[in-house]
Amino acid sequence: EIPQNLGSDIPHDIIKLPNGQWCKTPGALCSSRSECCKAKHSDSVTYSSGCSRQWSDQQGLFINQCRTCNVESSMC
């Protein structure tokens, strides 16, 4: 299950990237912001998407995961 603080409940566009792969959804492992799917209506300043460092209790280390958040809330 993907934690809600990664933005899994925020609608996002799943698009094919220039490298031919699909963008990664919130909670997926990533290495750069460009790999992550952007929130729908990301042309507004309401949402921000990117690849952020998160602590994984399961693995006992930091991992990079795609995240989408509402910039007007405390999620970002």
What span, in angstroms and rounded, lies between the C-alpha atoms of 29 and 66?
Answer: 6
Look at residue 37 in the predicted model and tell me its pLDDT.
94
Look at residue 1 in the predicted model and tell me its pLDDT.
43
Residues 6+ apart with CB under 8 A from 1: none
Note the residue count of the chain.
76
Look at residue 9 in the predicted model and tell me its pLDDT.
84
Spell out the per-residue pLDDT of the chain, length 76, in tens.
445 578 888 888 899 999 999 999 999 999 999 999 998 865 666 888 899 998 888 889 999 999 988 887 766 6
Record the pTM. Answer: 0.79
